[in-house]
Chain A
Amino acid sequence: MKTIGKVTFLFLCLLALVSSSYGKVLNSRIDVVGTENGFDVVVEREVVINSPAGKEVLGDLKVVYWKARESVDVLEAWTETPSGKVVKVGEEEINDVIYGPYTDAAGVYGEVRMLVVSFPSVEIGAKLHYKYVHHFSSPSTYTVVLSDKIPQERLKVCFKGKKGALKVTWLNASPKYDGEGCVVLTPPVIEDETEAPPTYFVYPVLQVSDFSFSPGSTKAPPPGEEVRSLAKRFSAPAEAVTWIEKHVHTVKWEFFRQDFRFSSPDEVLRRGFGSPADVAYLVYSVLKCMGKDVSLAVGYHPLRFPDDYPVESDGSVWNVFALRCGDDWFLLREGRTQYPYSYGPPFKGYDLEGRRVEVSFKTDSLVAEIKGGRGKYEYVERGTGDFDARIRGFGDLPRKDWEKFLSGAVKSVFGEGDLVRYELRNIEDPQKPAELRFTVKTDLTDEYESVEVLHVPFNSRFFGELPYLPSFERKEPMLLEPVELKYVVRMRGTGRTLYVPEPFKAEVGCVRLGMERDGRDLVYYYKVDGCLLTPEEVKKLKKELDFFKKDEHFLLLFKMRKEVFVYE
């Protein structure tokens, strides 16, 4: 009995610790109600504030909605102070404001608003109660991660009304319905760990939709005379792609049209601009008119969505376009063709005939080489995928700013040295790999009384690409995207070497890493095929990475024989 008492006490202590965070959801209920022209979601919650930070973080209720199809009405909202006094939220405390994402894709959300309910008299121990209805007009999708960063004791979800017309999908949860069409859950608290996969990989998700998405060829208007005539001007696909990129402006403020139809390619060509979807479809149409064997697929990045994520009904995730020309698939991101001859992350989606498409692109890769000399060294970087795009990104800056940008990178990423010379190759030629090379002048040696230590430069550049693994034990899995890094240290010398690091290798889950010697080159590598690592694997990987990053790998120790130590 005593032992049980102790366990209970410890358990209560643990609960107290958890509940001592921002706050806690005391009651929570979601009612999904089918209506004549869509559905309503009624959310009701009671939250208790437990800390000063909780007061700031939880003191406002914010509901984001898309004005074109949705509206939100607050049904009731009040604060119950610790003394039991009820202070109702006044009209002036409910504000409908612009929801402005801070990216230049803001235009996509042109009609997205946010309703902010500011609770009065919020203090520690106060309870905030609210109930609101979120109206959705067909076709619409409502997706919600049911977990929160604060604990919830009990969440009840009920479905009413025109249930048959609604497609309800659960992810990471298999709730049992009661006789009234309700389910009860206790969603776990979101751990909020770095490098965690999106919450919908791990925590319970509810998705309600009243339509199904399918690109379908019927939603893609056939090309007309103008597109056919344009196609006659090109002999190779690359010419067409380059021409379109130069002559048709891709705007970010027109998303994939809400009825999931493509604009007429002739119209896009005529007006000289179009959304990413429309430009992708124009590229496809022109290539098709050229007689090329092409497909266009609309899809998503599978590593960012779990396999069973109900993307078929979630139009918001359909923002990646893949183009097949012959046997090769290319990713068209935001309609830009900077990758067409390169590679990208994996892709899943549907082509215009409604066929499932799954493409495994080559992984992104980076090869960096340094060739050092006393006081200066040359660095060369070339890669595919994101690395290629990163180098090409210089093209978006005025040339006068290139040196400034690189100097900044040398300082902030590499930490030392002055940029002496730089060169960018092929950044405007999509058919050749982009390449960045530059020379840095720095002092690589630390001189002691009778010894000098030579530092391998730029190790932070390489390490900057590795995942950050803090020492705490994870509870969430960790998402690793495909990447391949190779870092070659080319040092030549005839000085007496007292120390050079030993080769090693390790493999954890989908990760392979290590160092090999190739003659007197040191070749460091890190390769990921793309996967979710379990917390146990993360722990193991951390151990390997700690060794990998150990400073002795980046110090080469020589005797003080400057006159005979010569770099090639």
Chain B
Amino acid sequence: MKYRVLSLLFLALWVLISASSGVPTEKEVIGIVKSMENLESNLSLPPLDRSELLSFAKKYRKGYGKFSHVVVVDRGMVQFNSKYQSVDYYEYAVLITSDAGVSEFSELKLGYDLNRSYGEIVFARVLKPDGTVREVDLSNVRESNPVSEQQMNIFYRGEVLKTLSLGAVEVGDVVWYAIRYYVYDPPYPFYDTLWYFDSSVPVRVSEFSLKVPEEEVLHWKVVNDEEGKVEFKKVGSLYSWRAESLSPIPDEPHAPPPIHYRRMLLASTVDWRGFSRLEYQLTEPSMKTDEAIKKEVERLVEGKENDWDKILAIFYYNAQKVRYLGVSHGEKEGFAPHPVTLTFHNQYGVCKDKAALLVAMLREAGFEAYNVLTTYDDDSDPDVAVDVFNHQIAALRWKGEWVYLDATDSLTKNPQPFYADGCPVLIATEEGEDLHWTPIRDPRSNGLRVSFKGRVEPDGKLKGTITFYADGGYHDAIFRYAFFYRRPEDRRKFVEQIVSALLKGGRVISYTFSPERPENLWEPVRLTINVEKDDYLLHLGELYGYKPVLAHIPSFWTMRSFFSAFALKRREIPLALTCTTEVDVDEEVQLPQGLEVFQIPPDRTFNSDSLVYKFLYSGEDSGFKMRTQVIFRKKELSPDEYAEARSGVKEISVKERQVVLLRRRGK
């Protein structure tokens, strides 16, 4: 499916530092792409039979209203040459089956980066149910800014988004169009691609062909095709894959990377080791250090007691002292880092620059470090080297293991941020490396401990102290971010908001946050809040209710995203969580002499492979204790694991609303 290829173009990484004077004009680019060697500039596919499209549309017009559309034909053909320039032709015909489809297909959008490629709409037409055809006037194409690229267009300075309104489209119409892309400056000296056969709607035909130069060896693989729907054919140098009558794949939130569940083709002319070597050759020329860097490294490691502290000192320097920039230098940023001496001098850079300086400084301190390509929102395959990367970090060989360090995160206590677990990494070495994955860490490494110690006074006022404690990982980072980016004068407001959510109408008497400077990553995070609330008990007729202050902590603030991920009754594809995590809560409350515990909620424990929780209460004459614990043990849950964990999550939602019932002593 073309969208994937499109996004790959945008994600396509960079070749060399080639800061040019500006984005070429469309006319200049057209001149270049039309004269690329050994490529058919008007590449296309044999025409589709209109009557066949219409007869399909007639057959499927009814009964598919729950989908926005049905894909009648999704086909693509790509030809590339020995310079890995390519011409891509994609043709798409969809039957609109509901109003949702009308809004989805009223406009055709086409995005590309003029610095590397050019895109054109070959034709767009609307087939009406009565057989008439409306050709859409291509002169109505408008250019606009791409969505969601604000300050993120580091590498795509020449990005263009063309939009064409298809005019009025109705349910029952077939929208049929073709587009062509020309890639004249590929990111790396190899060709790779992905093709998605299935979709979230039914697909009648999906086919992809690749014209491969004679001298090239193509590595390819179709994944998630257990039913064997995809047929492969090779005629001469033309490789073709085709699948028919594909059922829709579930379109579920919190989905893992598509390669984990979608039927797709991966193809590449390089293997991972070759890719790793190419990346090494690309990055290594920028790694030469100078005296100033050497001196800084000496200063940083001086007095550090052990090697790990030296590594952390160098890492924290790169993460915090060297500023991360949201824009690149020059019009056409490459994937190669700028010389580390320049980054060191400027004290800023983007991910690749910061990673390279970190690697260089670690090497200077005597460690074995490398540049690494990665992505935090996608995955790849160990057998076929398809470039899915959009980020650069550093790797360190440490005690026989790979340790990963992301210098773009200035507030991560652990050099591998919490969101970087289980992600694909390609370490750039001289000999070449296979694809690896970052380790998925223990829930406790993303842990949070919360406690409340308090007392109810005779007048019903509650007074006590809430403490949050985290040492590295998910919660640690979130608290640091919350304090770091707030002006000192706004931090109290933030603390009051936390209290307001836990203790409606509660007052913050005082609070302390340590470390004093949130960016001090050598110390764990501790937020201590002294609170009070008048008339805290619930008046329930003859009884009183005490709602534990920390009752909602398991699903509070930092944990909300974990709980909202369990909305669906069942899943057909795995659930991807941000990370593993563990939250431990303790509440201890003293009662005044006139009150006693009447009844406490029953204890409850739940234990599965992916979720553990405990709600434990104990009551005494003078007060009571509540202890809760929630552990999300896995980052990715299979549908079966999801179903099991969901029953636990539901219980937590119920249990956390419980109150401790009190009564007047002697009643």
Contact = CB atoms under 8 A, between A and B. Distances in A.
Interface string B169-190: 1100000000000000000000
A100 B545 contact: no
Contacts, number: 254
Contact of B252 (A251, A253, A396, A404): A404
Interface string A246-263: 111101011000000000
B545 A555 contact: yes
Nearest to B169: A249
A3 interface: no
B28 interface: no
A196 to B, nearest CB: 12
Quick one: which of A100, A273, A397 has the most chain B CB within 10 A? Answer: A100
Quick one: which of A92, A98, A448 has the most chain B CB within 10 A? Answer: A98
A101 B147 contact: yes
A24 B654 CA distance: 49
B489 A107 contact: no
B307 interface: no
A18 interface: yes
A180 interface: no
A52 interface: yes
A419 interface: yes
B144 interface: yes
B329 A93 contact: yes
Contacts of A110: 142-145
A106 B545 contact: no
A103 B146 CA distance: 10
Contacts of B161: 106-107
Interface in A257-288: 271-273
B347 A398 contact: no
Contacts of B170: 246
Contacts of A47: none
B138 interface: no
Interface in B508-543: 508, 517, 519, 538-543
Contact of A557 (B106, B165, B489, B543): B543
Nearest to A427: B99
B144 A408 contact: no
B331 to A, nearest CB: 8
Contact of A443 (B485, B538, B654): B654
A508 to B, nearest CB: 15
B376 interface: no
Given A251-B165, A398-B68, A106 B147 contact: yes
A174 interface: no
Contacts of A97: 151, 153, 157, 327
A162 interface: no
A39 B371 CA distance: 50
A149 B487 CA distance: 9
Interface stretch (B116-124, B224-232, B497-505): B497-505
Contacts of B295: none
Interface in B562-618: 563-564, 566-569, 599-602
B136 to A, nearest CB: 9
Quick one: which of A56, A399, A419 has the most chain B CB within 10 A? Answer: A399
A416 B348 contact: no
B347 A100 contact: no
Interface stretch (B214-222, B427-435, B452-460, B656-664): B656-664
B320 A52 contact: yes
B100 A395 contact: yes
B507 A555 contact: no
Contacts of B159: 98
B543 A395 contact: no
A415 B653 contact: yes
A217 to B, nearest CB: 27
B382 interface: no
B149 A98 contact: yes
Q: Contact residue range for chain B?
A: 35 or more
Interface string A30-62: 000000000000000000000111011101100
A466 B328 CA distance: 43
A398 B100 CA distance: 5
Given A120-B347, A408-B564, A557-B543, A98 B153 contact: yes
B504 A399 contact: no
Nearest to A93: B329
Nearest to A122: B323
A100 B348 CA distance: 23
A254 B564 CA distance: 37
B347 A446 contact: no
B500 A471 contact: yes
B538 A448 contact: no
Given A97-B153, A498-B542, A551-B545, A92 B329 contact: yes
Nearest to B321: A123
Interface in A509-554: 542-543, 546, 549-552
Given A107-B163, A273-B167, A418 B569 contact: yes
A334 to B, nearest CB: 12
Nearest to B157: A97
Contacts of A52: 320, 410, 484, 517, 519
Interface string B537-563: 011111101010000000100000001
Contacts of B320: 52
B240 to A, nearest CB: 31
Contacts of B496: 470-472
Nearest to B650: A416
Contacts of B519: 52
A99 to B, nearest CB: 7
Contacts of B442: none
B106 A100 contact: no
A396 B103 contact: yes
Contact of B504 (A104, A409, A416, A549): A549
A464 B563 CA distance: 17
B135 interface: no
A238 interface: no
A192 interface: yes
Given A93-B329, A107-B142, A471-B505, 14 more contacts: A99-B150, A116-B327, A248-B168, A253-B163, A395-B99, A398-B101, A446-B601, A446-B658, A470-B497, A498-B542, A499-B540, A550-B504, A555-B659, A557-B543
Q: Which 4 A-B pairs have the closest CB atoms?
A: A272-B167, A411-B567, A107-B144, A499-B541
Interface of A: 17-18, 20-22, 51-53, 55-57, 59-60, 92-93, 95, 97-104, 106-110, 112, 114, 116, 118, 120-123, 149, 192-194, 246-249, 251, 253-254, 271-273, 395-401, 404, 407-412, 415-416, 418-419, 428, 442-443, 446-451, 453, 455, 469-472, 498-499, 542-543, 546, 549-552, 555, 557
21 contacts: A52-B410, A53-B485, A55-B323, A59-B323, A92-B19, A100-B150, A103-B147, A104-B147, A109-B144, A118-B325, A194-B497, A251-B107, A273-B167, A396-B99, A398-B68, A400-B251, A446-B654, A451-B543, A453-B658, A453-B659, A455-B657
